[in-house]
A and B are shown apart, each in its own frame.
Chain A
Amino acid sequence: MKLSRNKTADAKERRENIRLSGEERRARRRSAYFLAPSVLGVMTFFIVPFCVIIFYAFVDNPINKEFVFFDNFVNVWNNGAFRRAATNTLSFSALAVPLAVVLSLVLALILEAKIPMKSRFRTFFLSPMMVPVASIVLIWQVVFHYNGALNAWLGPLGVNQIDWLKSEYSHLVIVLLFLWKNLGYNMILFMAAIANIPKEPVEAASIDGAGRTRIFFSIKLRYISPSILFVTILSLINSFKVFREVYLLTGDYPYETLYLLQHFMNNTFQSLDYQKLSAAALIMFAAMTVIIGLLFFAESRFGKDVEN
């Protein structure tokens, strides 16, 4: 009985679809025109030149155009400066990303614990996002300079003067700037996730006598785990963009541990080495594709578990 009714409904729908399809198709085509300006621009400035870069990466030079397989990639890979830049970038990420995730989750949990003046605090935590880094590098220099404020404070405690920006501590200084700038954004993502935790399982567990810690780890954390993964990968991607902060703080020639991939690229732009530039861009593109792939995988794999 039920089945047959479904069948007739299906048939009815199909008939309507056929009737609409002419008009529908026209609407579909017309709505495609809306994509035209954007697609044209993206083609011109990103996709077409990107294809040319792929071509450049496999030839010996733009004039001779002789196919050299992976020589350019091998050259870049064996380049000392590229190696150093890649290592520095990765070691920065390894330090910055876990802190960015954990601290922003802590901030979100504090704000979601119904503390007074919650929205005021949210404004404070989010404000660094809107302050141009260029405006506050002065303060960073004043604090972390060899003769700076931090050393002046630590001096009386018996700590020797440290040149924060020109020593192994330089990563720490940049991490602080990175966290200052990015925690607010991550916090908002986490707050949205915490607000979406359904009430019923939490209530059920607390009736069953589960303590707050137990509820947090067994229920809440499980519901926000997709967001944690998402924020982690997003922070990883953002940590590759930290060149901006490093440049504003230390200029063209930073201390060697702060020599990042973008510094390497900038130098290569100046030398007009098309092959090196293209091969390096493609190597980074490949690495990013893997990371973005992980992001998509994480979302399709774990995002569904909790979405209703």
Chain B
Amino acid sequence: MTDNINAAMRKRRRIHIAKIALLTLWAGVFAVLFLMPTVLTISNSFMSSTEITANYGSIFAVGQAGGRQFISERVNLKFIPDMVTFKQYITVLLKSPDYLFKFWNAVILTLPIMLLQVAVAAVASYGFARYSGKFRTFLFFSYIMMMLMPSQVTLVPNWLVSKWLGIIDTRWAVVLPGIFSPFSVFILTKSMKRVPKNIIEAARLDGANEWQIFTRVCIPSCKGALYSVLILVFIDYWNMVEQVLVLLTNPDKQPLSIFLSRINAGEISLAFAVATIYMVPPLLLFLHGEEQLVEGITYSGGLKS
């Protein structure tokens, strides 16, 4: 009898293990697919320019004169360079200021948007979370509407105002609408509403005014949400394309994200190194703040708080 039960249990356990193994295998397959583009970009950035041209020349070297260089008929996608070299990085970082300049453009557009959007939103979300009335509910609803509108809709008002203010084609045209974008208000309000009411009440009875309650009670208890919003806003604007195409058409002021897509045949060997440098800041942020990021995403699931 017990033998039978044991055998049955063993069998069930074996099936269970087989199942987990199969699922892990699937997860592994997906993981490879998800990581491949990033890993390939990074590994290709360590190839010498001759190797890049030999491998990908047939794609990018459209108008290149030559005949000396060996260019294979078909592309040769490789994970591991024949010879690891840092030459591309040295060229990008030391010899061609153009790329660094575009990188800097991305920094001075993204940083003010990120910091000021979160600052403005933190203050506003306190206003939304502290009391709610008909007016504030309506306002919050319109913020959600704006947040969900695609750029096809929101860029038209932005563009119109920039024209009126005469800031079109300057950095302000991108930065100012970015600062007031309602995205972080939404997530921060949700997080502020979770601050226990009795703590706020206690602070008030101790004589704290609204500003003190905000800075000393609410901000510290929303640290995680603030961090995750910073990350989410950063990645969104580090990646920006459509705003720049409409509001900042001067190529000298455009960030690297636009520039990378216009890289031509002559620069292809550097492109992978530039692409890798460009993904370093968001990836570092991700590795440092993954938990907060996940928490922030979870907050965004569901429109009500």
Stretch of B2-10, B82-90, B91-99, B272-280 at the chain-chain interface: B272-280
For residue A253, CB closer than 8 A to chain B, the reply is no
In the complex, chain B residues whose CB is within 8 Å of the CB of A72: none
| Total chain B interface residues with beta-carbon distance under 8 A | 103
Closest to A226 in B: B302
Check if A45 sits within 8 Å of B176, measured CB to CB. Answer: yes
Query: Given contacts A27-B210, A31-B130, A284-B152, are A138 and B41 in contact (CB under 8 A)?
Result: yes
Check B156–A265 contact: CB distance below 8 A: yes
Chain A residues with Cβ under 8 A from B60's Cβ? 141
User: In the bound complex, do residue A49 and residue B160 qualify as a contact, i.e. CB atoms below 8 Å apart?
Assistant: yes
From residue A237, how far is it (CB to closest CB) to chain B in Å? 5
- The digit string for A113-128, where 1 denotes a CB below 8 A from any CB of B, is 1111100011111111
User: Smallest CB–CB gap between A116 and chain B, Å?
Assistant: 6
In the assembled complex, the Cα of A265 lies from the Cα of B154 at a distance in Å of: 11
Task: Across the interface, name the chain A residue whose C-beta is closest to B282.
Answer: A130
The answer to whether A241 and B151 have CB atoms under 8 Å apart is yes
Q: Is A134 an interface residue (CB 8 A)?
A: yes
Is B26 within 8 A of A110, CB to CB? Answer: yes
Please report the number of residue pairs spanning A and B whose Cβ atoms sit closer than 8 angstroms: 295
Give the segment of A143-151, A167-175, A201-209, A213-221 that binds chain B: A143-151
Say if the beta carbon of B238 comes within 8 Å of chain A.
yes
Please provide the chain B residues from 29 to 52 with a CB less than 8 Å away from any CB of chain A in the complex.
Answer: 30-31, 33-38, 40-41, 44
Partner of A180, one of B37, B44, B75, B120: B37
Give the total of A residues in contact with B, Cβ under 8 Å. Answer: 98
Contacts of B19 in A (CB 8 A): 113
User: Which B residues are in CB contact (< 8 Å) with A136?
Assistant: 37-38, 41, 275, 279
Inter-chain contact B282/A134, CB cutoff 8 Å: no
* A137 and B261 contacting across the interface, CB-CB below 8 Å: yes
Q: In B111-153, which residues have CB < 8 Å from any A CB?
A: 120-121, 123-124, 126-128, 130-131, 133, 136, 139, 142-146, 148-153
Query: Could you give, for residues 151-174 of chain A, a 1 whenever the CB lies within 8 Å of some chain B CB and a 0 otherwise?
Result: 110010000000000000000000
Q: Which residues between 227 and 260 of chain A lie within 8 Å of chain B, taking CB atoms?
A: 227, 230-231, 237, 240-241, 243-244, 247-249, 251
A-contacting residues, B41-74, CB 8 Å: 41, 44, 56, 58-60, 73-74
1/0 contact trace for A258-296 toward B, CB 8 Å?
000110011001000000011011001100110010011
Q: In this complex, what residue of A is CB-closest to B122?
A: A34
Chain A residues with CB under 8 A of B239: 132-134, 244
CB-based nearest B residue for A45: B177
Which residues from A are CB-within-8-Å of B121?
38
A105 lies within 8 A of chain B by Cβ: no
Determine the chain A residues whose CB is within 8 A of the CB of B33 once the complex forms: 180
Chain A residues lying within 8 Å of B36, measured Cβ to Cβ, are 139
Tell me the B250-305 residues at the A interface (CB within 8 Å): 256-258, 260-263, 271-272, 275-276, 278-279, 282-283, 285-286, 290, 293-294, 297-298, 300-304
Residues of A near B214 (CB, < 8 A) are 34
In the bound assembly, the distance between CA atoms of A132 and B44 in angstroms comes to 17
Q: Which residues of A contact B123 (CB under 8 A)?
A: 34, 37-38
Contact of A107 with B by CB under 8 A? yes
B27 contacts which chain A residues (CB < 8 A)?
A: 107, 110-111, 115, 121
Question: Contacting A41 at CB < 8 Å: which of B149, B164, B180?
Answer: B180
Assess whether B235 is interfacial by the CB under 8 Å rule.
yes
Q: Is B241 an interface residue (CB 8 A)?
A: yes
Q: Which residue of A lies closest to B294 (CB)?
A: A188
Contact of B286 with A46 in the complex, beta carbons under 8 Å: no
| Bound form: Cα–Cα A261–B156 in Å | 13
B127 near A127: Cβ-Cβ < 8 Å: no
- Are A35 and B127 CB-contacts (below 8 A) given A52-B160, A136-B38, A188-B298? yes
A189 to B75, CA, bound (A): 38
Q: How far is the CB of A19 from chain B (nearest CB, A)?
A: 14
* Structural contact, B302 and A230, CB atoms closer than 8 A: yes
CB distance from A149 to the nearest CB of B (A): 4
A60 at the interface (CB under 8 A from B): no
Contact B20 A115 (CB under 8 A): yes
27 sampled A-B residue pairs with Cβ under 8 A: A27-B210, A35-B124, A38-B120, A38-B124, A38-B180, A42-B182, A45-B177, A47-B142, A49-B164, A121-B30, A124-B31, A125-B34, A131-B279, A135-B260, A135-B275, A138-B260, A138-B271, A139-B40, A142-B56, A244-B239, A249-B261, A265-B155, A269-B159, A277-B156, A281-B156, A284-B152, A303-B302
A41-B180, A249-B261 known; 13 new pairs, CB 8 Å cut-off, are A39-B139, A45-B176, A53-B156, A107-B30, A110-B30, A113-B19, A113-B20, A132-B282, A138-B263, A143-B77, A147-B59, A247-B241, A295-B148
Q: B-side interface residues toward A, CB under 8 Å?
A: 19-20, 23-24, 26-27, 30-31, 33-38, 40-41, 44, 56, 58-60, 73-77, 120-121, 123-124, 126-128, 130-131, 133, 136, 139, 142-146, 148-161, 164, 176-177, 179-180, 182, 185, 204, 209-210, 214, 231, 235, 238-239, 241-242, 245-246, 256-258, 260-263, 271-272, 275-276, 278-279, 282-283, 285-286, 290, 293-294, 297-298, 300-304
